[in-house]
Amino acid sequence: MDVKHYNNYTELDAHSFFGTSQVAASSAWFAKNNKRPMIISRSSFAGHGKFGSMWLGDNHASVDDMEISVL
């Protein structure tokens, strides 16, 4: 997760932003084509909720599952 991208962004920051960018692009396509979107993504960044929903994963909400979800 310490890999650096262009402009010194870390993979940890860029990965989630890329997911939100994909959801925003999909939402824009649906709006342009007068369709109602239902977009669910596992990767999210601030503002994601404006364009789609976040899938929290298949887990049992145990302490171990919650720890894995933030690693």
Band of residue 12 on the pLDDT scale cut at 50, 70, 90: confident
Confidence label for 29 from pLDDT (cuts 50, 70 and 90): very high
Residue 1 domain-assigned (yes or no):
no
- Structural domain span for residue 58: 6-69
Backbone dihedral angles phi then psi of residue 49, each to the nearest 5 degrees: -60, -20
Half-sphere exposure of 14 (CA within 13 A, CB side): 11
**d(Cα 38, Cα 5) in Å, to the nearest integer?**
31
Residue 35 lies in a domain: yes
pLDDT reported for residue 32: 96
* pLDDT score for 69: 67
pLDDT of residue 34: 96
Within a domain: 48:
yes
| Overall average pLDDT of the 33-55 stretch | 87
Q: Is the pLDDT of residue 60 over 80?
A: no
Q: How far apart are CA 21 and CA 68, in angstroms?
A: 24
What average pLDDT does range 19-36 have in this prediction?
Answer: 93
Quote the CA–CA distance of 64 and 26 in Å, as a whole number.
33
Strands (E), 1-71: 40-41, 53-54
Indicate the number of domains in the chain.
1
> Does 40 fall in a domain?
yes
